[in-house]
Structure 1
Amino acid sequence: MILSHKRRIAMELAKFSGILPALMTAFAENGIDCQKIAAHVERLKAAGVHGLYVGGSSGEMVLCSNEERRRLLECVMENAGELTVIAHIGTLSTKDSEALGRHARACGADAVSSVTPLYYKYTFEQIKTYYRRLCEASELPLIIYNIPAISGTTLNFDQLCELLELPGVGGMKFTCSDFFQLNRLVTRYPDKIFYNGSDEMLLSGLAAGAHGGIGTTYNFMPDRILAIYDRFRAGDLAGAQAAQTLVNRVIAEVLRYGAVPGSKAMIAITGFDYGICREPFLPLTEEEMQDLRHTAGRILAEE
């Protein structure tokens, strides 16, 4: 039984490990542009990514209706093939999140995920109950999305442990710079999956024990991100560091225009018109696009 259990854990970790772009959403005039999304998914598959994280911050989730989020996931599932798909189902309402969780299961997603409850300051018991409800509703492994800078909720080590021990919780997307905390969690929970969530610190997260990464900039430079991951796994730390340094030079330029608008602009600059972000985001001006081409675009063109 013990050997069988270990083999099952290894299979699950292998399925969920790797590089997963936090998929950006293409919009049509009156909704989701499934044609562009399908084409983008194909581009990412061809690049060699291991999975997709759908409907999260990079996907402009808070600017989409729940119906649009359902349609987005359906479009992705129709085109994902063998890719592992994690559906982000977090909303302001537990009932809406539960409904998205049931929809994710019906669509065939491999797992669900959610940020901590947003807007109000909730007690830890309320946060635990929220995640418990999502596990029960979706009946899929749940990946906790720990991003205190955006969620406004900072959980300590013991609280994160309590969440990871809830029935149905399969792991965590860890988007903060406390790699001491990440390493302690990975060590304590060898049967859980952990993703690094800060693109500029992917190598640091991998060194702390993360099984892979989920990120926004993976949408337009998956090959560069995969180079970090592949070189690290091959034991080429100098090569991985060089790859991370190049990625960070690009990120520094993109962040001057905001992670989401800048990254969506970079998809166009790297050869695929993916449209613009929804308001209140504003599109980059032609002058800003030219600047990004001459800075981030030129860095990406380096060997």
Structure 2
Amino acid sequence: MDFGRLITAMVTPFGEDGEINWEATSRLVDYLIEEQKSSALVVCGTTGESPTLRDKEKLQLFSFVKNQAAGRCKIIAGTGSNSTQHSIEMTRDAEALGVDGVLLVVPYYNKPNQEGLYQHFSAIAAATSLPCILYNVPGRTGVSMSAATTLRLAEIPNIVATKECASVDQVTQIVTGCPEDFYVYTGDDSAGLASLAVGGYGIISVASHIAGAQMHEMIEAYNAGNVRQAGALHRQLFPLFKGLFECPQPLPNPSAVKYALGLRGIDVGSVRLPLVPPNEEEAAFIANLLK
């Protein structure tokens, strides 16, 4: 399964009542595919506020987004958690709904060791025929999966890719040792071009909500050998990549990108507690960033 080079980790639109806004979700899916050139969408990942979504809501989103996309892009369901059995159950339910793959985050809070990580992911992969994408994000989970463990998991046939957020160094180590048909994505927009340069396949992105078309152009330019053009596009987009997470002090994802979408006329509502929307200073910073 090739999920493409630019994957958007999609926000979940909410209405004023805090419930999922299905009309806004429909518009967002069309916008991300047609205007922002997303080759696939991650539904109910971190950017989709998975910690505050109920299981029923997640399954409804998987089905709804799959139907709305109507074959125009691949749909990847965020089914991982810090419970192996719960992850298996959600993955099987997502498979029954016809998604194209699943994203499986490193277990958070309970901090398993490397053998525990291997057993966790291999058990989920054994329970499904879907392509599985690993997701290492130590800044959120409290534990980092080593390159060695990732490479060990890459030998399992239906574990086909990883979203690596630890460092470009770790991307380099994984690319160096993985099978040719194992794809390495960065989950850090600002490291996108550097990851491509060391052999990464693509980006699973937040900023692609706002600048996906330009990011797509950057990836295409790099792959065509137009390194100067790719570098120029990266430098142009770099303030956005950093600003969405540091505006002007760190703001938990997806508070900033949801506000930025609203400024662009794509109303996705606000965030669910314990996240909060940008304050006045942060809102002004985001507005200036988009200029």
Normalised to the residue count of structure 2, the TM-score between the two structures is 0.91
Q: Does residue 296 in structure 1 map to residue 279 in structure 2?
A: no
Which residue is 1:40 aligned to? 28
The partner residue of 1:51 within 27, 33, 40 is: 40
Q: Say whether residues 1:78 and 2:67 are aligned partners.
A: yes
Maintained 8 Å contact 1:54/1:86 = yes
* Alignment partner of 1:159 is 2:142: no
Deviation, structure 1 residue 267: 0.7
User: Is contact 1:228–1:243 with CA below 8 Å preserved after alignment?
Assistant: yes
The Cα offsets for residues 225-281 of structure 1, whole Å up to 9 and x where unpaired, read as: 112212111211111111111211123332234231111111111221110011111
Q: Tell me, which stretches of 5 or more residues in structure 2 are unaligned?
A: none
Cα distance, 1:39 vs. partner?
A: 0.6
1:65 paired with 2:57, answer no
> Cα distance 1:292–1:121, how it changes in 2: closer, same or farther (>3 A)?
closer
Residue identity over aligned pairs, in percent, reads 26
What is the CA distance between 1:87 and its match in structure 2?
1.2
Mark the runs of 5 or more structure 1 residues left unpaired by the alignment.
Answer: 1-11, 299-303
Instruction: Answer with 68-77 or 184-193: which moved more.
Output: 184-193
Contact 2:82–2:106 (8 Å) recurs in 1: no
- CA distance in 2 between partners of 1:286 and 1:153 (Å): 34
Aligned residue pair count = 283
* Relative contact order, higher structure (CA 8 A, sep 6+): 2
Contact kept, 8 Å, 1:104 with 1:138, in 2: the verdict is no
Q: Which residue of 1 aligns with 2:174?
A: 185
d(CA) in 1 for partners of 2:165 and 2:151? 16
Preserved CA contact (<8 Å) 2:18 2:272: no
1:246 equivalenced with 2:251 (yes/no): no
Code of the residue aligned with 2:32 in structure 1: it is L
Residue equivalent to 1:7: none
| Equivalent AA in structure 1 for residue 59 of structure 2 | R
Q: CA RMSD in A?
A: 1.7
1:216-295 equivalences under 5 Å are 216-257=206-247, 258=251, 259-286=253-280, 288-293=282-287, 295=288
Alpha-carbon distance change, 234 to 67 in structure 1, aligned in 2, over 3 angstroms: same
TM-superposed deviation, 1:41: 0.6
CA distance change for structure 1 residues 288 and 116 in 2, over 3 Å: closer, same or farther? closer
SS in 2 for 1:255: coil
Runs of 4+ in structure 1 displaced over 3 angstroms? Answer: 285-288
TM-score scaled to structure 1, two decimals? 0.88
